[in-house]
Amino acid sequence: MVTMTQHDTESPATGSDVLVVQDLVRNFGELRAVDGVSFRIAPGETYGVLGPNGAGKTTSISMIAGLLRPDSGSVHVAGQLMGPRQVGPKALLGLVPQELAIYPELSAAENLRFFGRLQGLGGAELRSRTDEVLDIIGLSDRAKSATKEFSGGMKRRLNIGIGLLHRPALLILDEPTVGVDPQSRNSILESVEALATEGMSVLYTTHYMEEAERLCDRIAIVDSGRIQAEGTRTELIRIVGELDEIRLDGSGDIAAAAGALERLPAVEHVLTEARTLRLTVREAPTAVAGIVNAAGQAGMELADVEISRPDLESVFLHLTGKALRD
């Protein structure tokens, strides 16, 4: 677990920030995919961007990495202005794209060496770094196999390895655990934790709340191209205040129950997920009896009722009225 030793989260970011993103806007035709995104990452910090599909995470990353030109706004990496033609700031970044970006015909070692050379590494340094990274991503014993024979998780790990080969000042990981088995996922998270402990700055996007909570010093909650809230986990959860979550599992007329519960004064939000209703509730311990009653009257047969403290999902639900994942 990464602890927050280096940063007082209240302190405004200074000129030493590895990344300063200001008012990024990007449209695709009528659609405003990124709508005024601003944030900063301090050296050694792990910064999370938590948001659902289509929130604008990858579009923001593309502008930060200089792959896409923003319609307006700016990105500075260690004080240097980033853009598609900027070579200097690109050398400071290690990008791990959301989509796999490896050559299937090449072996793991060949992939690493190829991109390492493009990053300016060579000779003994390239060789030793390749071995180190293969070790970090746990692929030393498969270094010479063509990557098209790799499992999905192995490919993901190699995808990450290429991004850290040149010891970037800022490692950018765009949803690195999507479509990965639990074991590979855990090893990816451990690698990121280890890198953060060594002092590498990390920008990590995900739609898994647990990943953001586990890895990140600070988290931005994004939806519809905007940062809805930003802060440490504790700060974010404070937004929800005294709101708790009550989960109702059951059968019967769930839709009618949802409608009835929404009208209760203690209930802030109701979210229907198949046979489960998730309620954001004020004063859960006192409200729960009324809620169970109302659900029953509306025709829902309850199988299970659960009260929990709020987490980042509750925060997201509170801020957007939507679930983080569908």
Partner 1 sequence: MLRQLWTMTASDIRLRIRDKSVPIFGLLVPFALIFVMNLVFGDTGDTDLDAVTVAAAQQDSGELGAVVVDAVTEVPGIDLTVTDVPASEIRPLVEAGDAQLGITVPADFTENVTGGQGAQLKLIQGESAAMEVGILTSVIEGVTGQFAAAAEATTAAAGLALPPDEAGRIAQQVIESEARVSAVEGRTATEQLGAGASIVAGQAGLFLLFTVGFGVLALLNERQQGTLARLQAMPMPPGLVVLSKALSSFILGVVATLVLLTAGSLLFGVSFGAPLTVLVLVLCVVAAGTSLMFIIARVARTPEQAGVMQSIFAIVLGVAGGAFFPITASGPAGMLLDLNPVAAFTRGLGISAGGGGLGDISQPVLIMLGFAVAALVVSRLVPDRGAAA
Residue 93 binding target from ligand ATP, partner 1, Mg ion, none, CB below 5 to 8 Å by type: partner 1
Q: Where does this chain touch partner 1 (CB under 8 A) — which range of 7-15, 58-66, 207-215, 219-227? A: 58-66
Determine if 58 is a binding residue for Mg ion (CB under 5 A).
yes
Interface residue with partner 1, options 25, 100, 271, 323 (CB under 8 A): 100
CB 33 within 8 A of CB 56: yes
* C-alpha triplet 245, 251, 255: angle, nearest 5°: 70
Determine if 70 is a binding residue for ligand ATP (CB under 6 A).
no
Residues 176, 155: Cα–Cα separation, whole Å: 11
Q: Where does this chain touch partner 1 (CB under 8 A) — which range of 13-21, 102-110, 183-191, 257-265? A: 102-110
Q: Where does this chain touch ligand ATP (CB under 6 A) — which range of 46-54, 74-82, 157-165, 279-287? A: 46-54
- x-marked contacts with partner 1 along 219-248 as a string, rule CB under 8 A: ------------------------------
- Nearest distance, CB of residue 52 and partner 1, angstroms: 22
Residue 235: exposure state from Cβ atoms within 10 A (0-12, 13-18, ≥19)? middle
Determine if 298 is a binding residue for partner 1 (CB under 8 A).
no
DSSP-assigned states of every residue in 233-300? HHHHHHHHTTEEEEEEEEEE-HHHHHHHHHTSTTEEEEEEETTEEEEEEESHHHHHHHHHHHHHHTTE
Residue 98 or 140 having the CB closest to Mg ion = 98
User: Integer distance in angstroms from the first to the last C-alpha of the chain?
Assistant: 28
CB 196 within 8 A of CB 202: yes
Residues 173-192 that bind ligand ATP (CB under 6 A): 175
Residues 232, 8: Cα–Cα separation, whole Å: 10
280: CB partners within 8 A, 6+ apart: 240, 243, 244, 245, 267, 268, 269, 310, 314, 317, 318
Q: Tokens for 95? A: 């990008």
Residues 63-82 that bind partner 1 (CB under 8 A): 65-67
Interface residue with partner 1, options 105, 135, 210, 273 (CB under 8 A): 105
Determine if 224 is a binding residue for ligand ATP (CB under 6 A).
no
Q: Tokens for 164? A: 């850290």
- Contact residues for partner 1 (CB under 8 A)? 62, 65-67, 84-85, 87-88, 90-91, 93, 95, 97, 99-106, 114-115, 117-120, 122, 162
- Contact residues for Mg ion (CB under 5 A)? 57-58, 98
